[in-house]
Amino acid sequence: MRRWNGWGEDDVDYPLDARAVGFLSDRIGAATTPGPETALDSILAQVPSSSWGDSGFDVSASARVLHARGQSYRDWLALKYGRIGPVADAVAFPESHEDVERALQSAVRRGAIVVPWGGGTSVAGHLDVPDSDRPVLNLSLARMNRLQGLDDVAQLAVFGAGTPGPQVDTQLRAKGFMLGHFPQSYEYSTVGGWVVTRSSGQQSLRYGRIENLFAGGRLVSPRGELQIRSVPASSAGPDLREFVLGSEGRLGVLSEVQVRVRRIAEREDFNAVFFPDWQHGVDAMRHLVQADLSLSMLRLSNEIETETQLTLAGHEKAILWLKRYLKLRGSGTRPVMLMLGMTGLNREVLRCRREALTVCKQSRGVHAGRMIGQGWAKNRFRGPYLRNTLWTMGYGVDTVETSINWPQSTALMRAIEQAAHDALAQENERVHAFTHLSHVYRQGCSIYSTFVFRCAGDYERDLARWQRLKARVSETIVSHGGTISHQHGVGTDHAPYLSAEKGPLGMDLLRACARELDPAGLMNPGKLFA
C-alpha cells in the first residue's frame, strides 16, 4: 500500500548502514530528534463533514485528506506534523473525458474551485488546497489510466491523462512500443502531469522532454473543450500545445494525452567514467553533447555527490578497490563521476560507447565499466525512498533544479550550494549540499542540487528553516540568470520568482489566457501566479 505521508510503498525502504550514517553525522551533525509521525486516524478525526453529500462525489474524510497535499517539503512537513490545512469538500474520480466534463460543469454550477490531481508527486506546491470561502473540488484522474488507442504506423498513442509511468510502459510494451519518459517520480507521476508541468525524463537526451513527446490532447475548461490536434508540424499560427504545456491546471483539466512513441530499443548500456576534477568532467560532458553522439543520458556528479553516492552504495571492499584504481590512474583525490547512457541497436550502442570513451579520454576520463551503471539503472527510481529513512533519523531533504548556458553553469552550481550553506549558517546549522548536471543540451545544461539538513523537531521552526533555505537558493538562481525550474514546474513554491523570468508583459499574457478559458478563476488558483 502506498504511504499516505511519505514516498512510495510502505513495505519498501532504503536502509543506510553505519558507515553512511557516520558520513552524514560528520558533515552536518548527529540528529537530536527523530522526525514526528502523526497518525492518520487523528487527522481524519479533525476533518469537518462535507455539505456535498448529494454531489455523487467522494466526500469521505480519507479521500479528502489523501488528496490535500503533494510531495513538496512544505507538504512533507504538513503531513508529518499533522498540519494538513484546508481539504477539499469532495473528490471526483472520473473514468472518461465525458466524466471530466460533467464533474467540471458541476463544480462551475457550485462556484467551486477545482484542483486537478494526477499522481500526487508534485514537489513545487501544485496540489495545495486553497484556504477560500469558495467550496473546493479535487478532481482525481487516477481511474483514467488506460491506453485508449495506438496508431502503429504514425507511432502515436492516446492515454487517459491519469496513466502513471509504469502503466504507460506496460501497455505500450505489450504492443512493441515505448515512450521513453523516465522522471525520478516515474512510479507514480502521470502522463497528464508530465505535460502540465513540462517534465523531463532521465534519458531526455535520446527521447526528448515531454514537450517533444506531447503530440496533442483534450483539455476541459470551464468554457468548454480545447482540442489539440496532432499533425507532424504546422505554421498555422502559434502552437496551441504550448498553452497546455506547463499550464499546471490553470486553464482546465487535461483529460486525454496523445504522445509520440517508438519501437523498443534493442540494447541499453550505462557506463561510469571518472575524471580527476570538476572542470575536466564538465568539459567532457559539453564536448560529448556538442559532438552529437547517439547518447541517451549524460549525468555528471560533482565532487561531493560522487563521494556521497559511493558511500551510500555500500559494497565497501569494492569501493575501496575502485578508489585505489582511480588513484593509480590519476583521479583519486576528488574525482567526479559521469554516467553515460547508450540506447539503440546493438551496433549503435557499441559504436557510441567507443566514440564517447574516446572523447572522455581526451579529458583524462577513466572508464570504470558497466557495474556502477547497472547498479544505477536497477535503483534509478529508489532515491526518493531515502527521504523516508532520513526523516526517521531526524534529517530533512529537499532539492532545487534549474538550467543555464554552459559558460555560467559552474558558477551557478557553486553559488547554489553556497547559498544553502549561508541560509542555514544563520541558525548555526550545517547542510550537506551536492549537485549533478542531468539534462544536457548543446547550449547548456540543467543543474540539480540536493540538500540534507537536521530537523528542528518543531513544525514552525522546521518550516521557517526550509523557507529560509528555499528563498536564498531561489534568489541565487534568479540573480544568476537561471530558470526557476527546469523540470519540476512552478506551483506555489516557485511562483514568486516566475515574473523575473517572464517579465511583466509575459505574466499579463499568462493571466489573459487563464481568464479566457476560466473567467471565474476556478481552476487551481495560486499556481503559476497569484
pLDDT in tens, 171-185: 999 999 999 999 999
Read off the pLDDT of each residue in 488-510 and give the average, rounded to a whole number.
Answer: 97
From 316-320, 444-448, 469-473, the region with the lowest mean pLDDT: 316-320
CA distance 437 to 446: 6
Backbone angles phi, psi at 209, to 5 degrees: -70, 175
Whether pTM > 0.75 for this model: the answer is yes
Residue 426 sits at the vertex; the CA angle it makes with 423 and 431, to the nearest 5 degrees, is 50
CA distance 206 to 191: 18
Percent of the chain with pLDDT over 70: 99
> Residue 319: what pLDDT?
72
Residue 12: closest CA among 421, 383, 436: 383
Mean per-residue pLDDT over the chain, rounded: 95
> Residue 128: what pLDDT?
94
Cross-strand partners of 301 = 337, 436
Phi-psi category of residue 82: left, alpha or beta, with phi > 0 → left and psi -120 to 50 → alpha: left
Q: b/e map of 179-190 (b: 16 or more CB within 10 Å)?
A: bbbbbbbbbbbb
Read off the pLDDT of each residue in 108-137 and give the average, rounded to a whole number.
Answer: 97
CA distance 526 to 253: 16
pLDDT tens column, 205-232: 999 999 999 999 999 999 999 999 999 9
pLDDT at residue 246 tops 80: yes
Read off the pLDDT of each residue in 356-372 and give the average, rounded to a whole number.
Answer: 93
C-alpha cell at 375: 547498479
Reduce the DSSP state of residue 232 to 3 states and report it. Answer: coil
Strand pairing of 113-117 and 136-140?
parallel
Cross-strand partners of 225 = 220
> 38: which DSSP letter?
-
pLDDT band at 314 (very low <50, low <70, confident <90, very high): low
pLDDT band at 331 (very low <50, low <70, confident <90, very high): confident
> Residue 203: what pLDDT?
96
> Residue 320: what pLDDT?
76
CA distance 400 to 124: 10
pLDDT tens column, 377-391: 999 999 999 999 999
In order, the DSSP letters of 349-374 are HHHHHHHHHHHHHHTT-EE--SHHHH
- Helix 459-479 and helix 406-425, axial crossing angle in degrees, nearest 10: 150
pLDDT band at 315 (very low <50, low <70, confident <90, very high): low
CA distance 483 to 477: 7
> Residue 301: what pLDDT?
97
CA distance 481 to 182: 27
pLDDT at residue 57 tops 90: yes
pLDDT at residue 439 tops 80: yes
Q: Across the beta sheet with 444-454, what order do the strands follow?
A: 366-367, 267-275, 336-344, 295-301, 431-437, 444-454, 395-405
